[in-house]
Amino acid sequence: MKTKNEIKSSPLAAGIVNKSNKSKLPSGDFPPHHMVNLNYKLNYIFARRSIRKYQDKAIPEEMLADLLAAAMAAPSAVAKDPWHFIVVQNRETLNKLTAILPNGKMLHQATAAFVVCGDISKAHRQQESYLLQDLSAAVENILLAANTLGLGTCWLGVHPREDRQTGIRQLFTLPAQIIPMCGIAIGWPAEQPEARTRYNPDRVHREKW
């Protein structure tokens, strides 16, 4: 079992994205440590980090369209596609969102935001769990697509906090069956956190718990 420090000092945790990077660390873990290096082919995943500082630069409309296309390419239970995306570019509305999302202050800088909502009446078996799983898959697609296009994003939690959901409901006058799940701040990044995984061998179970 590796200690936190051993994981921290590994080439993997250091965020080295290199085809030839093979860890020499001994391993009794599965998968062996050298197999969980940051494979450069998956850099679009490892380099996706939460971006909270943005440049004052417009995002082309086609790029926002690309993100929405990526969102709606996500898996969805029984392909119910219960998602809705509110595209926000108006500065005043972005600023209003920061009042509802106390951990979303970066929206003052962001050029755009999506508010990701789901229609409970469209979800598989009308169950909230299916709705949230579908929306989460779409959100991750957006984050990965944005990173691939050079944009920065940050997931902003709304659900299950009642106050945040109420604030979003009121700001956008949402119909009753629409559940707001999260916001996504979007903009050209003004910071570049290192590519990494938070791989933890303790979370992997081979054949049995």
Ligand X SMILES: Cc1cc2nc3c(=O)[nH]c(=O)nc-3n(C[C@H](O)[C@H](O)[C@H](O)COP(=O)(O)O)c2cc1C
Q: Which residues lie near ligand X (CB under 6 A)?
A: 49-50, 52, 103-104, 154-157, 193
Cβ 116 to ligand X, closest distance in Å? Answer: 11
Task: Give backbone dihedrals phi and psi of 180, rounded to 5 degrees, phi first.
Answer: -80, 130
Cβ 1 to ligand X, closest distance in Å? Answer: 23
Instruction: For ligand X, give the closer residue by CB, 21 or 50.
Output: 50
Instruction: For ligand X, give the closer residue by CB, 203 or 208.
Output: 203
Cβ 3 to ligand X, closest distance in Å? Answer: 21
Instruction: For ligand X, give the closer residue by CB, 193 or 201.
Output: 193
Cβ 103 to ligand X, closest distance in Å? Answer: 3
Instruction: For ligand X, give the closer residue by CB, 110 or 154.
Output: 154
Instruction: For ligand X, give the closer residue by CB, 27 or 172.
Output: 172
- For 33-54, b where at least 16 C-beta lie within 10 A, e where not — what string? beebbbeeeeeebbbbbebbeb
Cβ 170 to ligand X, closest distance in Å? Answer: 19
